[in-house]
Amino acid sequence: MLEQLLIFTRGGLILWACKELGNALKGSPIDTLIRSCLLEERSGAELYNYDAPGAAYTLKWTFHNDLGLVFVAVFQRILHLLYVDELLAMVKREFSEIYDPKRTLYTNFDETFRQLKKEAEARAEDLKKSKQVDASSRAGAFDLNKLQKLRAKGAKKPETVVSKVSKAEPKKKPTKKNTVWDDTPRQAKLDYTDPVGENGDNIEVVAADHGESMMDKEEVFSSDSEAEEAEEVGKDSKPETKKKGWFSSMFQSIAGKANLEKSDLEPALKALKDRLMTKNVAEEIAEKLCESVAASLEGKEVGFVHEDFFDSTAMEEALVRILTPRRSIDILRDVHAAKEQRKPYVVVFVGVNGVGKSTNLAKVAYWLQQHNISVMMAACDTFRSGAVEQLRTHARRLQIPIFEKGYEKDPAIVAKEAIQEATRNVSEVVLVDTAGRMQDNEPLMRALSKLIYLNKPDLVLFVGEALVGNDAVDQLSKFEQKLADLSASPNTRLIDGILLTKFDTIDDKVGAALSMVYISGAPVMFVGCGQSYTDLKKLNVKSIVKTLLK
Amino acid sequence: MEGTEEWKTQLEAWKNQLEKWLNQGIEYSQQIPPIQLYAAITILLFTTLLLLLIRVFKRVKSSTIVLTGLSGSGKTVIFYQLRDGSSHEGTVTSMEPNEDTFVLHSETAKRAKIKPVHLVDVPGHARLRPKLDEFLPQAAGIVFVVDAVEFLLNCRAASEYLYDILTKASVVKKKIPVLILCNKTDKVTAHSKEFIRKQMEKEIDKLRASRSAISEADIANDFTLGVAGEAFSFSHCYNKVTVAEASGLTGEISQVEQFIREYIKP
Ligand SMILES: Nc1nc2c(ncn2[C@@H]2O[C@H](COP(=O)(O)OP(=O)(O)OP(=O)(O)O)[C@@H](O)[C@H]2O)c(=O)[nH]1
Ligand SMILES: Nc1nc2c(ncn2[C@@H]2O[C@H](COP(=O)(O)OP(=O)(O)OP(=O)(O)O)[C@@H](O)[C@H]2O)c(=O)[nH]1
Ligand SMILES: [Mg+2]
Ligand SMILES: [Mg+2]
């Protein structure tokens, strides 16, 4: 049975709901669909599964982009309703005929809907009977339907989208990179990977200032900066004469048609996808994004789209939306909140080998220290030789206490003891360094899962290299999946935030930021951009988007 | 006969006089360099244009009210209550702002010509928050809607959002008045507006500590709230911040209407 069919505006006003079906939905499937699927640029997917106590719904939807309408059908998952796509397409067509933006009441649609439903059901019956009904023979009548199928091609269940990874590119065995970056000579190098003398005699203790962390110098994020505003205004008022680049030229070719169809968009979207991929966005992500943008453009009048693309808003808005953090990323506030509860704030750094976990842990420690927060490091990389000494070196330079228990210990226990120690001597933050591990390494992933389950950290930071391309999808989704699979508790802890490292080495290939955020839904909380303690930044969403679309 | 003759000579004399003046005038104007003349004309045009523009802008600026707040607080319901006096078939999470210019529903019965209000309802979903910046610069007032029933769950998130708004340059510079609207008071479990105000002040006080630490480096574009060394209170704000109650679902929205009409005179 169809549970509900709703028609609402993008503004959120329900215009029509089927009263006949009327039984109240359990939970709030529609709101959840909008919040976690449609607004997350996943609207290119075919369906969305919603689970609530006592209900397992599947939702399907279609947009009328020109009128700004959304049509959603809700049905029990166990019933494979064949006619939903068709019904939605018919409802959309009929409803757009009578739609008037000024009108809010459409009781006269009840009768139309009854008819349409009957029709669709009958058709589905026929389809069942004569198995070999050729889909293409109906194509003329339901071109929208065809489009939707086209769009849905290859789409998977929204919840599991990420798990199906395109390729398992043979990964070379991670080796410790000991890169020497061509830094300005005065900058102290941060790489203490190789243990420098057990007792560290040759380390000068520079507790003194290394300068201000770039976290604080940031010009970014506060969009209310006057200068930025002025710049924005200036830009807007500039005549449209400046060269618009590849993007608009792609769309120029489709101007002049009345309404956009999928096929018109294809070349432009292909170009867009390629462009994103040259910026190092993972292929799968680029694909999905384009599908989503296509879904939001289909059926729009070209004049409108044309304009849209002159400001390249459709894509830009989508990108800004993805990169804007969903949750608060004010760590300092969270630290203070934890302090009130007399608990240390625990951050665990996880990630594959050699991405910069330990180095950036030290940068975060330095930044926190600058804000008068007492920090403690916990050396829970009990796996790679030299890891403890590496961390100890950082600790000594920054004059931060470190908790260590040597090697061959269970990292989960070490972390636990570290947190107890921190509670005793009132450290406000505990930064837990973990061993780098490949996402496929079952035993190590299990150990990490245990560490997280046992210690319930306040923040699980996934550390990833900005250099990563397609592998970003694999790394992050496998990390999330393994953590979810292996944890013994039902309410699984996944990744809360992302730390993007080596941002200084990637030039304009900023795509990893987008890939990682899209997959995990977690915000980028820090960006590591160099080899000194101050080289830690916040993500500048505006400039990333600009770079991606350049 | 004699009279007309006399009148004629008189006329002749006037004509001569006039001609003389006219010639003098032309001569004089020819003495002025043309640049000066053009400049004078330009200035005249410019000032009239400027005056016109100022009037136009003033009108546009002062009639926008922005509805904001967390997702699910009831903004869209209030939007339609203000416009149509009904919440129609209900609402779902907004994906785009609602925007319209209209005379408040409760005022449509009145005869007199009433100034319409430009009302904007900005969705609360975090991903859509950048949209708010588009509307704030022209706002004459901000209505920050809070769910008074689920308040404790949302207190921190709501306070954080409000803090961000209260420290935006566009809001502070223009001292845009803010109304904290405690919605859903039809439910008996709704918290009182006094409670909500106190809790939010406490939250913002904590936020202030952590945020001001961040903003030290760029004082230029981030405003710190309240009086240093004192517990935060909304009365310390640069803007006027008031608290009111409403129930969008049942249509008890008179306090919002009052707020709107305080800043957009009918
Ligand atoms: N240019 C640049 N190099 C970085 C950055 N962050 C880390 N590195 C370098 O990356 C290399 C690896 O850093 P580590 O911190 O040892 O990496 P790790 O993830 O702790 O490694 P394992 O513990 O072996 O998994 C070192 O040479 C660092 O100096 C960064 O932001 N920019
Ligand atoms: N009991 C009660 N419920 C209300 C009231 N106002 C709104 N609601 C309910 O709260 C829910 C959310 O209302 P909306 O107006 O859609 O919320 P919103 O603030 O527009 O949310 P976003 O569009 O996501 O930002 C709806 O289910 C409303 O029925 C009220 O005054 N009383
Ligand atoms: Mg390490
Ligand atoms: Mg809404």
B12, with CB counted inside 10 A (0-12, 13-18, 19+), is exposed
SS3 A346: strand
Looking at residue A504, what is its pLDDT? Answer: 92
SS3 A384: coil
Which of residues B177 and A104 earns the better pLDDT score?
Answer: B177
Nearest of A496, A484, A464 to residue A326 by alpha carbon = A496
pLDDT per residue as tens digits for the range B66-102? 999 999 999 999 999 999 999 888 999 999 999 999 9
Of A39, A104, A225, the CB nearest to B221: A225
Tell me how far the alpha carbon of residue B81 lies from the centroid of ligand 2, in angstroms. 12
Phi, psi of A328 (to 5 degrees): -65, 140
A73 contacts A59 by C-beta, under 8 angstroms: yes
B207, with CB counted inside 10 A (0-12, 13-18, 19+), is buried
Select from B58, B77, B93 the last residue of a domain.
Answer: B58
Which chain B residue lies closest to A371 (C-alpha atoms)? B213
Instruction: Please tell me the distance from the alpha carbon of residue B257 to that of residue B249, in angstroms, as a whole number.
Output: 15
Of A16, A30, A216, the CB nearest to B214: A216
Do both B74 and B184 map to the same domain? yes
SS3 B250: coil
Do both B30 and B135 map to the same domain? no
Q: Does the beta-carbon distance from A12 to B157 stay under 8 Å?
A: no
Looking at residue A424, what is its pLDDT? Answer: 92
Where do the H-state alpha helices sit in A64-133? 84-98, 109-129
The neighbouring-strand residues paired with B121 are B67, B98
SS3 A192: coil
A385 contacts A441 by C-beta, under 8 angstroms: no
- Count Cβ neighbours within 10 Å for each residue of A193-227 and write b for 16 or more, e otherwise: beebeeebeeeeeeeeebeebbbbebebbbbbbee
**Whole-number percent of chain A with pLDDT over 70:** 72
Asked if A311 reaches chain B (Cβ–Cβ under 8 Å), the answer is: no
Which residues of chain B have a CB within 8 Å of the CB of A70?
A: 95
CA distance B242 to chain A (A): 23
**A96's tokens:** 């757009």
Select from B58, B74, B106 the last residue of a domain.
Answer: B58
pLDDT per residue as tens digits for the range A329-382? 788 888 988 888 889 999 999 999 999 999 999 999 999 998 889 999 999 999
Which residues of chain A have a CB within 8 Å of the CB of B86?
A: 104
**Furthest-apart CA pair in chain A: how many Å?**
87
Where do the H-state alpha helices sit in A432-470? 442-455
Length of chain B: 266
Instruction: Please tell me the distance from the alpha carbon of residue A325 to that of residue B152, in angstroms, as a whole number.
Output: 22
Instruction: Please tell me the distance from the alpha carbon of residue B65 to that of residue B82, in angstroms, as a whole number.
Output: 12
Asked if A215 reaches chain B (Cβ–Cβ under 8 Å), the answer is: yes
What 3 state SS string does A88-107 have?
HHHHHHHHHHHCCCCCCCCC
Per the prediction, chain A carries an average pLDDT of 77
Of B84, B89, B220, the CB nearest to A17: B89
pLDDT per residue as tens digits for the range A482-521? 887 766 655 555 888 999 999 999 888 899 999 999 888 8
Location of structure tokens 């803007």:
B239
Instruction: Please tell me the distance from the alpha carbon of residue A159 to that of residue A48, in angstroms, as a whole number.
Output: 8
A361 contacts A355 by C-beta, under 8 angstroms: no
SS3 A543: helix
Phi, psi of A356 (to 5 degrees): 115, 25
Q: Does the beta-carbon distance from B95 to A324 stay under 8 Å?
A: no
pLDDT band at A437 (very low <50, low <70, confident <90, very high): very high
Nearest of A360, A341, A375 to residue A462 by alpha carbon = A360
**Whole-number percent of chain A with pLDDT over 90:** 30
CA distance A332 to chain B (A): 5
A143, with CB counted inside 10 A (0-12, 13-18, 19+), is middle
Select from B34, B58, B82 the last residue of a domain.
Answer: B58
CA distance A297 to chain B (A): 15
Looking at residue B30, what is its pLDDT? Answer: 74
Q: Does the beta-carbon distance from B125 to A39 stay under 8 Å?
A: yes
Do both B34 and B127 map to the same domain? no
pLDDT at A238 over 80: no
Looking at residue A161, what is its pLDDT? Answer: 37
Nearest of B69, B81, B165, B83 to residue B117 by alpha carbon = B83
Instruction: Please tell me the distance from the alpha carbon of residue B102 to that of residue B80, in angstroms, as a whole number.
Output: 11
Q: Residue B261 contacts by C-beta under 8 Å, 6 or more apart in sequence? A: B104
Q: What Rg, from alpha-carbon coordinates, does chain B have?
A: 30
Q: Does the beta-carbon distance from A333 to B160 stay under 8 Å?
A: yes
Instruction: Please tell me the distance from the alpha carbon of residue A188 to that of residue A74, in angstroms, as a whole number.
Output: 60
pLDDT at B162 over 90: yes
Do both B142 and B113 map to the same domain? yes
Which chain A residue lies closest to B127 (C-alpha atoms)? A321
β strands within chain B, DSSP E = 64-69, 98-102, 117-121, 139-147, 178-183, 241-245
A239, with CB counted inside 10 A (0-12, 13-18, 19+), is exposed
Which residues form ligand 1's pocket by a CB distance below 6 Å? A 176-179, 181, 190-191, 193, 351, 353-360, 381, 384, 387, 436, 501-502, 504-505, 528-531, 535
Other C-beta atoms lying within 10 Å of the C-beta of residue A473: 24
Do both B33 and B114 map to the same domain? no
pLDDT per residue as tens digits for the range A60-95? 999 998 899 999 999 888 777 778 888 999 999 999
Do both B44 and B173 map to the same domain? no
Looking at residue A527, what is its pLDDT? Answer: 92
Do both B144 and B122 map to the same domain? yes
CA distances from residue A62 to A68, A73, A158, A315 in whole angstroms, order as listed: 11, 9, 15, 19
Question: Which of A172-176, B188-192, B212-216 has the highest mean predicted lDDT (pLDDT)?
Answer: B188-192
Ligand 1 pocket test, pick from A349, A353, A359, A432 with the greatest ligand atom count within 8 Å of Cβ, gives A359
Where do the H-state alpha helices sit in A487-540? 511-520
B264 contacts B140 by C-beta, under 8 angstroms: yes
Looking at residue A131, what is its pLDDT? Answer: 55
Which residues of chain B have a CB within 8 Å of the CB of A225?
A: 169, 218, 220-221
Instruction: Please tell me the distance from the alpha carbon of residue A327 to that of residue A199, in angstroms, as a whole number.
Output: 43
Location of structure tokens 């061959």:
A408
For the residues A302-319, what does the mean pLDDT come to?
60
Looking at residue A380, what is its pLDDT? Answer: 93
Do both B39 and B170 map to the same domain? no
Looking at residue A209, what is its pLDDT? Answer: 61
Looking at residue A186, what is its pLDDT? Answer: 43
Which chain B residue lies closest to A230 (C-alpha atoms)? B170
Do both B252 and B133 map to the same domain? yes
For the residues B157-169, what does the mean pLDDT come to?
90
Name the residue range of residue B37's domain.
Answer: 2-58
Q: Does the beta-carbon distance from B94 to A325 stay under 8 Å?
A: no
Query: Apex CA A21: angle with CA A19 and CA A23, to 5°?
Result: 95
pLDDT at B262 over 70: yes
Do both B171 and B46 map to the same domain? no
A327 contacts A93 by C-beta, under 8 angstroms: no
pLDDT band at A412 (very low <50, low <70, confident <90, very high): very high
Surface of A (4-33) touching B: CB under 8 A: 6, 8-17, 30-31
For the residues A530-536, what does the mean pLDDT come to?
91
Do both B32 and B82 map to the same domain? no
Instruction: Please tell me the distance from the alpha carbon of residue A481 to that of residue A479, in angstroms, as a whole number.
Output: 5
Do both B16 and B73 map to the same domain? no
Phi, psi of B91 (to 5 degrees): -135, 165
SS3 A377: strand
Where do the H-state alpha helices sit in B181-253? 193-215
Give the total number of structural domains in chain B.
2
Of A6, A13, A324, the CB nearest to B127: A324
* CATH number assigned to the domain comprising residue B216: 3.40.50.300
Nearest of A347, A351, A372 to residue A362 by alpha carbon = A347
**A120's tokens:** 């669709």
Other C-beta atoms lying within 10 Å of the C-beta of residue A304: 13
